A and B are shown apart, each in its own frame.
Chain A
């Protein structure tokens, strides 16, 4: 039985990955009203792109770079141009269904062209433990947490401190006004798709060494990211971060203190409660109702 401290560290580490995935999810929603049901598969795929590069003989660092680049081309540019752009005018629901089909497509493609078996994946962080306050904490957890925090910090700095970030926020909040004051809205939307692709590739790099590379691993992750994004606040980047960490910790605590069988139920019940009593999310702002 692990104690509370270990549970919290492990929870924060998985939560940080959920946060990365959830942030991308909220960015897509804010800029283009895209609910990406394939977000979990978006995290699964880059690991396989990196594995494929390694099988072709590339060293690990090169495979990482190639994987991230390919992910930005396929899951950023390709996703936007081939699926989201043609479907945008049709409204939220058909696009959401199309991303469900995309999830099936990605899963099957990996299963068919790569492997139906789980493959090991090298870790960017050395394995081993360090001791903090007398507790053994795995370096992997620390590494994941640090990389995720740096990425999220970088993103929030970009959004809040730079003119590019302000333009992105303007494009997300009010495209019409943004266009009038000269913000290249289309380019900003493309940028959010590229950022999402980068974040999922990063999450893939961090999480795959822990859970192995498997074609079906996106399902659970995607669901966790949805929950995180909604619990925190669908329309807030910081909400998604808080939601990610919260769900990660909650999930680990539930496994230890509720029951391993019903651990998946705890975040779901939490989700239902939050949606019913605070639909805008814990940190979100309410969206106006349109009649």
Chain B
């Protein structure tokens, strides 16, 4: 990378962050809802990206963890608990359940693991639907309150959008730190070759469970924010298709790329809105776009960018080599 690239990246990042803070001030209620939804889904997708993109464990259960977080937060805040406490409980709960779900991953891999997690997703949905004493069954839980922070009510869409955005910022920093820590390196070693990772002295058992637990915990965070965002939850949004959607977000954005979930969630949440003018056809167009993208680039959108950058770097390197070679020859 050339020396000016880093300040350029930082400047670009700051512009995007400023834009996310300032521009939505003029948005209407619905626009803010969609943007908040993007922030929430990005958190969930970042969790799955840790499990899948970095640690290489296929999970079709992330939607269930969003559901666990959402129900934990809905039940607690309706009983008068503050949202941060509910988020803590949602995280602990999702982490614990995610840890348990990691055990099958110690035994089976790839498609088998996908099906175990798929079954778990169905089971979680059945519990949400049938345990009416706790979850309200098919009628769900309504009038979920939005929190007060330091005496400021976040009932209005704009303040609550900032709650979601702030949470996204905190999670982003935490994940950024995590994937650069020895933990992140261990996850990636696990993804590339589990046996080699083990022979290098990495406790694959512990890291596999951790990959699931941390990824699930982020799903729990997303759910804990989702409940006050919509202020009403029932089992339907947390069925298997949410897990599939989240998986698609991760893959479409670019699994294993830090910014993949941001892009993937943007496409999954915003693209249908932009395609609204096509009326009933938008999901069809979305499906075709996803298939087209995957045929073209199975590593997602950031995969295209990555390949382009790699090609440019190789080109630059060979240009330098050519120059050096001709200089050497003239010197002789």
In the bound complex, how far is the Cα of B130 from the Cα of A118, in angstroms? 25
Residues of A within 8 A of B110 (CB): 92-93
Contact of A111 among B247, B280, B287, B294 (CB under 8 A): B280
Contact pick for A91, options B115, B123, B298, CB 8 Å: B298
Residues in A257-291 with C-beta less than 8 Å from chain B: 261-262, 264-265, 268-269, 271-272, 275-276, 279, 291
Residues 81-129 of A at the B interface (beta carbon under 8 Å):
83, 86-87, 90-98, 100-102, 104-105, 108-109, 111-112
Given contacts A94-B294, A272-B104, A265 and B280 within 8 Å (CB-CB): no
Q: Is B244 an interface residue (CB 8 A)?
A: yes
Q: Are A83 and B291 in contact (CB under 8 A)?
A: yes
Chain B, residues 240-278, CB within 8 Å of chain A (1/0): the string is: 100010011001000000000000000000000000000
A35–B291 Cα distance when bound, in Å, is: 15
* Cβ contacts under 8 Å, B122 to chain A: 223, 264-265, 268
Does B288 reach chain A (CB closer than 8 Å)?
yes
Closest Cβ of chain A to B329, distance in Å, is: 41
| A268 x B288 contact (CB < 8 A) | no
> Which residue of B112, B130, B195, B280 contacts A279 across the interface (Cβ within 8 Å)?
B112
Chain A CB within 8 A of B232 CB:
no
For chain A, the count of residues having a C-beta within 8 Å of the partner chain is: 41
B112 cross-chain contacts in A, Cβ below 8 A? 230, 275, 279
Interface residues on B, range: 35 or more
Q: Does B311 contact A (CB under 8 A)?
A: no
Mostly, the A contact residues are: helix
Decide if A48 is an interface residue (CB 8 Å cutoff). no
Q: How far is the CA of A272 from the CA of B114 in the complex (A)?
A: 11
Is the CB of A226 closer than 8 A to any CB of chain B? yes
Across the interface, name the chain B residue whose C-beta is closest to A291: B195
Task: For the complex formed, measure the closest distance between the CB of A155 and the CB atoms of chain B, giving whole angstroms.
Answer: 23
Residue B284 at the chain A interface, CB threshold 8 Å = yes
Task: Kindly state the separation between the CA atoms of A272 and B319 in the bound complex, as whole angstroms.
Answer: 56
- Is B17 part of the binding interface, using a Cβ–Cβ cutoff of 8 Å? no
- Beta-carbon contact of A102 and B280 below 8 Å: no
- A235 and B322 CA atoms in complex are apart in Å by 53
Q: What residues of chain B lie closer than 8 Å to A271, measured between beta carbons?
A: 115-116, 119
Q: Known: A102-B291, A104-B283. Contact between A97 and B119, CB under 8 A?
A: no
Q: What chain B residues lie within 8 Å of A112 (beta carbons)?
A: 280-281, 284
User: Whole-angstrom distance between the alpha carbons of A105 and B193 in the complex?
Assistant: 35
Q: For A35, what are the chain B residues with a Cβ–Cβ distance below 8 Å?
A: 111, 114
Assess A262 versus B130: contact at CB under 8 Å? Given A109-B284, A275-B116.
yes
CA distance A269 to B283 in the complex (A): 32
Contact check, A97 vs B115: say whether CB atoms are below 8 A apart: no
- Distance between Cα atoms of A102 and B294 in the complex (Å): 12
> Cβ of A92: which chain B residues have Cβ within 8 Å of it?
110-111
Q: How far is the CB of B276 from chain A (nearest CB, A)?
A: 14
Q: Which residues of B contact A (CB under 8 A)?
A: 58, 104, 107-108, 110-112, 114-116, 118-120, 122-123, 126, 129-130, 193, 195, 240, 244, 247-248, 251, 280-281, 283-284, 286-288, 290-291, 294-295, 298
Give the 4 A-B residue pairs with the shortest CB-CB distance, closest first. Answer: A105-B287, A94-B298, A90-B298, A101-B290
Q: Could you list some 29 contacts between A and B, CB below 8 A?
A: A35-B111, A83-B295, A87-B295, A91-B298, A95-B294, A97-B247, A97-B248, A97-B294, A101-B294, A102-B291, A104-B283, A104-B287, A105-B283, A105-B284, A105-B291, A111-B280, A112-B281, A112-B284, A227-B119, A230-B115, A262-B126, A264-B122, A265-B123, A268-B122, A275-B108, A275-B112, A276-B104, A276-B116, A279-B112
Chain A interfacial positions (CB closer than 8 Å to B)? 35, 37, 83, 86-87, 90-98, 100-102, 104-105, 108-109, 111-112, 219, 223, 226-227, 230, 234, 261-262, 264-265, 268-269, 271-272, 275-276, 279, 291
Supplied contacts A87-B298, A96-B111, A272-B116, 8 more A-B pairs, CB within 8 Å: A91-B298, A97-B248, A98-B291, A100-B248, A105-B284, A234-B111, A261-B129, A264-B122
